[in-house]
Amino acid sequence: MLDTKILKPDYIFEVSWEICNKVGGIYTVLSTKAFTLVKEHRDNLIFIGPDVWKETRDNPDFTEDKFLFRSWREHAEKEGLHFKIGRWNIAGNPVVILADFTTYFSI
């Protein structure tokens, strides 16, 4: 007998340079896909992208939420990882982690 059980992942991660960063067409693809996936996976859909607005001004596509994954963020920062966690300001408002990548470049 064939097992027809449908498996559902605990979390889905999507990583792209264009998360909360309007550069090109990939931004449109990701934001459209996010709306569909959030309906089913809610906060278990997590987008990861660069914090490209870090040293300029506030990112209009991102709203930080200091309480979301708070203990995890605090632990990671003790390990030297710096990022912001919040919501992508698009339909569905998916969870976003924006990584500070500047420490990985030598000047």
Average pLDDT over every residue of 78-107: 90
And the tokens for 21? 């960063």
Tell me the β-bridge partners of 12. Answer: 45
| Residue 84, pLDDT score | 93
For residues 71 and 26, give the distance between their C-alpha atoms in angstroms, rounded to a whole number: 32
pLDDT at position 4: 77
**Which SS3 state, helix, strand or coil, does residue 60 take?**
coil
Q: How many CB atoms lie within 10 A of CB 103?
A: 10
Q: Tell me what percent of the residues of the chain surpass a pLDDT of 70.
A: 95
Q: Report the DSSP beta bridge partners of residue 98.
A: 49, 84
